Amino acid sequence: MSEWVIITNKGFSSDEWIGRSVIEPTNILSDNFGEEQLKKSHLKLGNDFQVETLKSFLPYLNAISIEFPSEKDGRGFSLARRLRQLGYLGVLRATGHVMVDQYRHATQSGFNQIAISSKLAKRMPEPYWQQQIDGFTPSYQEKLQSGSTNSYSSKKNILIKEAKNIQNLNLTNTGLVGAVVTKVIRWTDWSFSFRVARPKNFRFQSGEFVMIGLPGNNGKPLLRAYSITSPSWDDELEFYSIIIPNGPLTSQLQHISMGDTLILNPKATGTLLLDSLLPGKRLFMFASGTGIAPFISLIRDPEIYEKFEQIILSHTCREVKDLNYGKSIVETISKDPLIGEYADRVFYYPTVTRETFHTKGRITDLLKTGQIFQDLQLTPISRDTDRAMICGSIGLNKDIKAFLETSGLKEGARNHPAEFVQEKAFVASLNPIGLGRSF
């Protein structure tokens, strides 16, 4: 038996790091290590180390261990969490005096492995660890992080799974890339948003969509179209999704967490582009359900404020809760250093169809009756000043298009800009509800 026993979510195992060159932070900070060398090293950290100083090296490291000198010393848990926060995606090992009862703390703080001495392993044999691995501990922190008031997390101690970094997904020659999840927010029981690190060299225009997904059961990627809700300048990509019970992708996707890797086809496309519209004074954006996604990207892009004086964002949902995601982003505009000064030029107009709400009903009806203009104290839509974008259900797209055409507006495209655009590729062929929704 070797000196160390390694514990992962599969129980006891031998040390796969034997053969890696062991380095200390001073080596990294002073010596000139190449990327390849870092990838093959095992970085050992004392539990009082300022891990923040390592930030720029973290993408190249695969194996870091943190020392646990005694069962009472919990510094290592904070260090692990901080490393994960700083973006470290490789394997993280807790080495030293870790008790079987600290398995939960270690895994929930971001460790994938625990290394104990064979002497300690003799006193705390595998079956006791296995109990912890199989056990399920509900986590208040995960519950709060998800934003839910009473969701029952069915996830096990999730972080101790195989370290999933990009190398583990074999995407060579597929044209697809990996994108690492940095944040997941649960908005309602049936919707959530998530952010991923932006893959290198990936370009898109605000308002466009991409195909993203997870490896399917047959090993092939399972991809669906999602509008990017972050603006084009952001160094992360954000998406908004609903959960379809038994949907092949979303039933899996809802369980992603920080550090997981999604698959992304780095070719963005879409019709909801500012370039497809002729210059105008006001821009009306009509969304239903998750169709708000592309507009959430556009309103966070300073370009829209250069091109239009007023932005009217109408969003129709079934229930009040469904508005939360969009509403929370709209609320942040005024605090955004980049676009905060334009906040008073955004007119947000939420409507709800199936619950009591101050504006109730379908947006098409509110348009026809003129209610929306009355509520916002705006003049009715005119071809001279107004441009529009539509993204929603088939019915919504059809009705609004008809309404706009009655007002004299014509549909444009990238090669012939006009007065309005709609996201139809999606609506017609793939998805009956709207962008952002998958199945």
Q: Report d(CA 245, CA 243) in Å as an integer.
A: 6
CB of 72 to other proteins, least distance (A): 6
CB of 139 to other proteins, least distance (A): 7
Question: Residue 410 interacts with other proteins (CB under 8 A)?
Answer: no
CB of 220 to other proteins, least distance (A): 33
Give 173's DSSP letter: T
Indicate the pairing of strand 4-8 with strand 41-45. unpaired
Encoding tokens for residue 233?
């300048």
Question: Residue 100 interacts with other proteins (CB under 8 A)?
Answer: yes
Question: Residue 130 interacts with other proteins (CB under 8 A)?
Answer: no
Pick one of 151, 251, 334, 385: the residue that binds other proteins (CB under 8 A). 151
CB of 273 to other proteins, least distance (A): 28
Question: Residue 131 interacts with other proteins (CB under 8 A)?
Answer: yes
Pick one of 14, 136, 344, 405: the residue that binds other proteins (CB under 8 A). 136
Q: Please choose, out of 57-65, 162-170, 181-189, 356-364, the segment that lies near other proteins by the rule CB under 8 A.
A: 181-189
Question: Residue 379 interacts with other proteins (CB under 8 A)?
Answer: no
Pick one of 22, 29, 144, 402: the residue that binds other proteins (CB under 8 A). 144
Query: Burial level of 252, CB count in 10 A (0-12/13-18/19+)?
Result: middle
Q: Report d(CA 387, CA 282) in Å as an integer.
A: 6
- In sequence order, which residues have a C-beta less than 8 Å from that of residue 147 and are 6 or more positions away? 185, 186, 187
Closest-CA residue to 287 (of 211, 363, 372, 371): 363
Q: Report d(CA 311, CA 305) in Å as an integer.
A: 8
Closest-CA residue to 57 (of 26, 78, 79): 26
Pick one of 27, 265, 324, 371: the residue that binds other proteins (CB under 8 A). 324
Question: Residue 290 interacts with other proteins (CB under 8 A)?
Answer: no
CB of 80 to other proteins, least distance (A): 8
Pick one of 149, 218, 246, 356: the residue that binds other proteins (CB under 8 A). 149
Q: Please choose, out of 36-44, 123-131, 285-293, 336-344, the segment that lies near other proteins by the rule CB under 8 A.
A: 123-131
Helix (H, G, I), strand (E, B) or coil at 244: coil
Please give the span between the terminal C-alpha atoms of the chain, in angstroms, as a whole number.
50
Q: Binders of other proteins among 49-78, rule CB under 8 A?
A: 52, 71-75, 77-78
Question: Residue 9 interacts with other proteins (CB under 8 A)?
Answer: no
Closest-CA residue to 406 (of 376, 370, 381): 381
Which residue, chain included where needed, has tokens 């071809």?
383
Question: Residue 337 interacts with other proteins (CB under 8 A)?
Answer: no
CB of 394 to other proteins, least distance (A): 31
The smaller minimum CB distance to other proteins, of residues 33 and 129, is found at: 129
Give the other-Cβ count within 10 Å of 100's Cβ: 21
Question: Residue 105 interacts with other proteins (CB under 8 A)?
Answer: yes
Q: Report d(CA 115, CA 99) in Å as an integer.
A: 11
The smaller minimum CB distance to other proteins, of residues 242 and 367, is found at: 242
The smaller minimum CB distance to other proteins, of residues 85 and 374, is found at: 85
Measured on CA atoms in the order 412, 415, 416, 419, is the torsion positive or negative?
positive
Q: Report d(CA 313, CA 390) in Å as an integer.
A: 10
The smaller minimum CB distance to other proteins, of residues 103 and 347, is found at: 103
CB of 59 to other proteins, least distance (A): 17
Residue 408 gets the label, from left (phi > 0), alpha (psi -120 to 50) or beta, of left
Question: Residue 251 interacts with other proteins (CB under 8 A)?
Answer: no
The smaller minimum CB distance to other proteins, of residues 336 and 375, is found at: 336
The smaller minimum CB distance to other proteins, of residues 243 and 372, is found at: 243
- In sequence order, which residues have a C-beta less than 8 Å from that of residue 256 and are 6 or more positions away? 181, 184, 194, 214, 262
Indicate the pairing of strand 282-288 with strand 261-269. unpaired
Encoding tokens for residue 414?
């990238």
> Could you list the residues that contact other proteins (CB under 8 A)?
48, 52, 71-75, 77-79, 81-82, 85, 99-102, 104-109, 123-125, 128, 131, 135-141, 143-145, 147-153, 182-183, 185, 324, 328
